[in-house]
Amino acid sequence: MRSRTIALLTDFSLKDPFVSMMKAVIRSINPNVEIIDISHDVSKFDIYEAAFILYGSHKYFPQNTIFLVVVDPGVGTGRSVLTVKTERHIFIAPDNGVLYPIVKEYGDSATIYVIDEDKIAYTPKSFTFHGRDVFAPLAAYISLGYPLTYLGKVTTSNSIVKLKWVKPTIKNNVVLGQIVYIDSFGNIVTNIPVNIIPWIKTCKLLRIKVEGKVGEVTARYVRTFANGKPGELIALEDSFGLLEIAIYEDSAAKKLKVDRGLKVEIRKGE
Amino acid sequence: MRSRTIALLTDFSLKDPFVSMMKAVIRSINPNVEIIDISHDVSKFDIYEAAFILYGSHKYFPQNTIFLVVVDPGVGTGRSVLTVKTERHIFIAPDNGVLYPIVKEYGDSATIYVIDEDKIAYTPKSFTFHGRDVFAPLAAYISLGYPLTYLGKVTTSNSIVKLKWVKPTIKNNVVLGQIVYIDSFGNIVTNIPVNIIPWIKTCKLLRIKVEGKVGEVTARYVRTFANGKPGELIALEDSFGLLEIAIYEDSAAKKLKVDRGLKVEIRKGE
Amino acid sequence: MRSRTIALLTDFSLKDPFVSMMKAVIRSINPNVEIIDISHDVSKFDIYEAAFILYGSHKYFPQNTIFLVVVDPGVGTGRSVLTVKTERHIFIAPDNGVLYPIVKEYGDSATIYVIDEDKIAYTPKSFTFHGRDVFAPLAAYISLGYPLTYLGKVTTSNSIVKLKWVKPTIKNNVVLGQIVYIDSFGNIVTNIPVNIIPWIKTCKLLRIKVEGKVGEVTARYVRTFANGKPGELIALEDSFGLLEIAIYEDSAAKKLKVDRGLKVEIRKGE
């Protein structure tokens, strides 16, 4: 099966020429594939952030898109190269946990391969830039239709590196979750799907306790950003379907001085 | 009429995956359209800056390019979605003033449509990301040749949201204008087309008064950046045809400590 | 000969619309060419950095790629426009030294042309943005197969502007080199190809003296980043084949407080 689209996600930045070298290698092998940049500004070495971005965005991509994720602090060590095939998509990444949420999401309908790098690597292969020497050729050959059964061996989801991917819980009407992303607007994204909160539709005000902060803040639960008054903390269902804390035309993350990873407790305020 | 090119202009940044999700939706609907990024680093929520960038750059794009502008602080509220067709191009944006300069420029030769979102929106449509759920599908369907008369209803230029888009004036040989853009080099772009200044060709020195600053500065009027001496303030006709204040290999905006929006008075110095 | 790929390298940033205007002009002339961005965040006016990025990355690009480099502080002055044809690639840039390393590398197998701008320039041509008005059309016409012998005149490598492009030397087992690039990870790239150091394979520790710094630092010579302990200075062969100084998951450039251009002396430590 051929693919028309490769989607790239790295922490290489766009200042350095590294991303362009990956694209150059891909297009040397398959000049007809289109490349979409998801982001190259993942925080350096931040496997968790890359995993969230991939998980949150992949569903919108065309059928047969090949996702190539290179956040790879273990480059040049013994870490494996994985390829995961789901019904709609193919995912390629180092075996460092970044594909774990995808594997969890698709369960038995996903097939996981450990790739035999020797079949596709650029020669001579560097020890420091497998984005160019291993991952780019791999994505390009898969886009040309090279069968995964030729390129690697099937493995089980138990054999791959896991990621601490916390699911939110609800206990006595308190929702326990975590901040999983801060976007460029300063909106605070939690891991809490709004549709798991039973009382959300009758709720006008949320009480929010953030790990390490004294006391609570309250946020009015609204439909969209512009419903907020100037400076007012609001909460809403964001475009990932997740509970998000925001301020209209301002940065909630700066105002609350919070970072990714902190736990949050959400209570019905009113 | 089919379009081969969609040009994107947003304030979404390239760090977040939002732009890629728009591209993913576009290419799911029309895999053959090419996408050119104008910028995704418009200052957040800055409709005026987006309007200037669009106005200043659109003429160079191929015939039939579809411009998709998503600087959309009013997302999820009642604001309309506009599509403007000129002889050469199609422009799509929220009805928030960002297309006003285009509408002014092309006058009666432009046709303005208010789009019926239900005809093209992604289902379920979020309240917070119409770039993905409304604008991307709209641009993609238009690129496939869906007729605007099917997608929306014609409206008049009086019915759309206006932008304070100041025209420069000349009074007693004093040119009154405004700073409309600071580029990444720190060059100060005014809204004054050089060709409206009658004495510019015989002028060697400009006297410049900036709103809120004490006194005047002088700038030598030159042909290009490299005509400036180190640290010397110069003025020139920039690539938009506008009067620009600059310093060779340095930032005039930093030196003069000016920002966009300030008024300027230009006098002939010598 | 037609080209399918144009690779762009500028200091225009992606915030401003300038890069998109170049792409718009290119695609107006040749809608079928693909454009790969090498980088648009070259430090402003930094011909040396652009030259290094081009030199270090070009080999990975497809046959017949046209490289278009616009770091052009001399725009609008008398400086010439060059096109260099090698066996595999074509390079276009202002005659300011940025192509000098390419010309040196390929020697007599490269042909250098001074372009007659009048044959291809956009009319009216600005004095301040030849990226749009001269270089973009030139690249597009070359991609369509316009012969270089029609577009310009052959010149010699002695006639073009040179760049101070220092080669490393070895004297009494001391390697004398220079820092040529700091990447976005903070890795310090030198101009020293690892394979010119005779004792490198038996070397466990390097002693490094940086120009202007008191004393030496030592760095363990390893194969890849993850071989470093937290905070430990390491040295390795990077993906350009050059000696690089790094810290695993940290910025060596920040820790050592060094900048590009500084000279380095490398000694065998152990």
Please give the Cα distance from C178 to C259 (Å, whole number): 10
pLDDT in tens, B127-146: 999 999 999 999 999 999 99
Please give the Cα distance from A80 to A112 (Å, whole number): 12
Owner of token pair 């430090």: C43
Whole-Å CA distances, C162 to A165, C93, C97, C103, C109: 54, 13, 5, 10, 18
The domain locations on chain C are 5-159, 169-268
Q: How many cross-chain Cβ pairs, A to B, lie less than 8 Å apart? A: 90
Among B8, B12, B23, B41, the strongest candidate for a mutation testing the A interface, having the largest count of A CBs within 10 A, is B23
Segment C15-35 mean pLDDT: 97
What residues pair up with B214 in beta bridges, in sequence order? none
Q: What is the nearest CA distance from B158 to chain C, expressed in angstroms?
A: 29
Check residue C54 and give its pLDDT. 98
CB C214 within 8 A of CB C227: no
Q: Which of A180, A179, A177, A218 is nearest to A197 (CA)?
A: A177
pLDDT in tens, B216-262: 999 999 999 999 999 999 999 999 999 999 999 999 999 999 999 99
CB C141 within 8 A of CB C120: yes
Please give the Cα distance from B4 to C162 (Å, whole number): 42
Q: Of A27, A44, A133, which has the smallest distance from its Cβ to C185's Cβ?
A: A44
Handedness of CA B156, B160, B165, B169 (dihedral sign): positive
Q: What is the nearest CA distance from B185 to chain C, expressed in angstroms?
A: 7
Q: Of C15, C24, C75, which has the smallest distance from its Cβ to B61's Cβ?
A: C24
pLDDT in tens, A209-243: 999 999 999 999 999 999 999 999 999 999 999 99
The secondary structure element, H or E, covering residue B112 is strand B111-115
pLDDT tops 80 at residue B107? yes
Please give the Cα distance from A169 to A167 (Å, whole number): 6
Q: Of A13, A45, A128, which has the smallest distance from its Cβ to C239's Cβ?
A: A128
Three-state SS for chain A is CCCCEEEEEECCCCCCCHHHHHHHHHHHHCCCCEEEEEECCCCCCCHHHHHHHHHHHHHHCCCCCEEEEECCCCCCCCCCEEEEECCCCEEEEECCCCCHHHHHHHHHHCEEEEECHHHCCCCCCCCCCHHHHHHHHHHHHHHCCCCHHHHEEEECHHHCCCCCCCCCEEECCEEEEEEEEECCCCCEEEEEEHHHCCCHHHCCEEEEEECCCCCCEEEEECCCHHHCCCCCEEEEECCCCEEEEEECCECHHHHHCCCCCCEEEEEECC
Q: Which of A52, A134, A49, A41 is nearest to A93 (CA)?
A: A134
Tell me if chain A has a CB within 8 Å of the CB of B127. Answer: yes
Please give the Cα distance from B75 to B93 (Å, whole number): 11
C-beta atoms of C224 and A76 within 8 A: yes
B2: pLDDT confidence band, cut at 50, 70 and 90?
confident
Please give the Cα distance from A48 to A56 (Å, whole number): 12
Neighboring chains of A (3 or more beta-carbon pairs < 8 A): B, C
CB B189 within 8 A of CB B242: yes
Q: Which of B161, B20, B164 is nearest to B81 (CA)?
A: B161
Segment C121-132 mean pLDDT: 93
Please give the Cα distance from B21 to B7 (Å, whole number): 15
Tell me if chain C has a CB within 8 Å of the CB of A12. Answer: yes
C-beta atoms of C14 and B37 within 8 A: yes
A169-268 and A5-159 share a CATH fold: no
Segment B174-202 mean pLDDT: 96
Chain B environment of A36 (Cβ under 8 Å): 20, 23-24, 27
Check residue B84 and give its pLDDT. 98
Tell me if chain B has a CB within 8 Å of the CB of C244. Answer: no
Check residue B270 and give its pLDDT. 77
Q: Which of B27, B144, B49 is nearest to B90 (CA)?
A: B144
Q: Of A62, A183, A248, which has the smallest distance from its Cβ to B28's Cβ?
A: A62
C-beta atoms of A12 and C184 within 8 A: yes
Which residue from C minimizes the CA distance to B222? Answer: C127
Could you report how far apart the first and last alpha carbons of chain C are, in Å? 54
Tell me if chain B has a CB within 8 Å of the CB of C43. Answer: no
ipTM given for this complex: 0.96
Three-state SS for B36-59 is EEEECCCCCCCHHHHHHHHHHHHH
Tell me if chain C has a CB within 8 Å of the CB of A31. Answer: yes
Owner of token pair 């600005």: C126
Q: Which of C227, C234, C243, C228 is nearest to C205 (CA)?
A: C234
Q: Which of C80, C153, C145, C164 is nearest to C112 (CA)?
A: C153
Tell me if chain A has a CB within 8 Å of the CB of C57. Answer: yes
Segment C8-35 mean pLDDT: 98
Q: Of B65, B223, B239, which has the smallest distance from its Cβ to C129's Cβ?
A: B239
Check residue A2 and give its pLDDT. 87
Is the domain defined by A5-159 classed in CATH 3.10.620.30? no
Q: What is the nearest CA distance from A197 to chain C, expressed in angstroms?
A: 38
Q: Of A5, A65, A225, which has the smallest distance from its Cβ to B73's Cβ?
A: A225
Which residue from C minimizes the CA distance to B247? Answer: C73
C-beta atoms of C237 and A127 within 8 A: yes
* Residue B44, token pair as written in the block: 């957040």
Whole-Å CA distances, A253 to A102, A181, A207: 27, 10, 16
Note the CATH number of domain C169-268: 2.40.30.90
Strand boundaries in C148-232, DSSP class E = 152-155, 169-171, 174-182, 188-193, 205-210, 217-221
Among A16, A40, A125, the strongest candidate for a mutation testing the C interface, having the largest count of C CBs within 10 A, is A16
Q: Of C23, C25, C45, which has the smallest distance from its Cβ to B249's Cβ?
A: C45
Could you report how far apart the first and last alpha carbons of chain B are, in Å? 54
Q: Of B34, B37, B226, which has the smallest distance from its Cβ to C20's Cβ?
A: B37
Chain C environment of B62 (Cβ under 8 Å): 24, 27-28, 31
C-beta atoms of A184 and B12 within 8 A: yes
Q: Which of residues 177-216 of A touch B (CB under 8 A)?
A: 183-185
* Residue C64, token pair as written in the block: 């017949």
Could you report how far apart the first and last alpha carbons of chain A are, in Å? 54
Q: Which of A162, A73, A72, A132 is nearest to C227 (CA)?
A: A73
Whole-Å CA distances, B174 to B199, B236, C265: 11, 17, 60
Q: Which of A159, A8, A13, A183 is nearest to A97 (CA)?
A: A159
Which residue from C minimizes the CA distance to A73? Answer: C226
- Interstrand relation of B5-10 and B34-39 (parallel, antiparallel or unpaired): parallel
CB proximity list for B32: less than 8 A, separation 6 or greater: B4
Chain A environment of B129 (Cβ under 8 Å): 238-239
% of chain C surpassing 90 pLDDT: 94
Check residue B201 and give its pLDDT. 87
Segment C188-192 mean pLDDT: 98
pLDDT tops 80 at residue C1? no
What does the pLDDT profile of chain A (270 residues) look like in tens digits? 789 999 999 999 999 999 999 999 999 999 999 999 999 999 999 999 999 999 999 999 999 999 999 999 999 998 999 999 999 999 999 999 999 999 999 999 999 999 999 999 988 899 999 999 999 999 999 999 999 999 999 999 999 999 988 899 999 999 999 999 999 999 999 999 999 999 998 999 999 999 999 999 999 999 999 999 999 999 999 999 999 999 999 999 999 999 999 999 999 997
Which residue from A minimizes the CA distance to C10? Answer: A15
Q: Which of C152, C150, C117, C161 is nearest to C136 (CA)?
A: C117
Mean pLDDT of chain C: 96
Chain A environment of C10 (Cβ under 8 Å): none
Please give the Cα distance from A211 to B136 (Å, whole number): 38
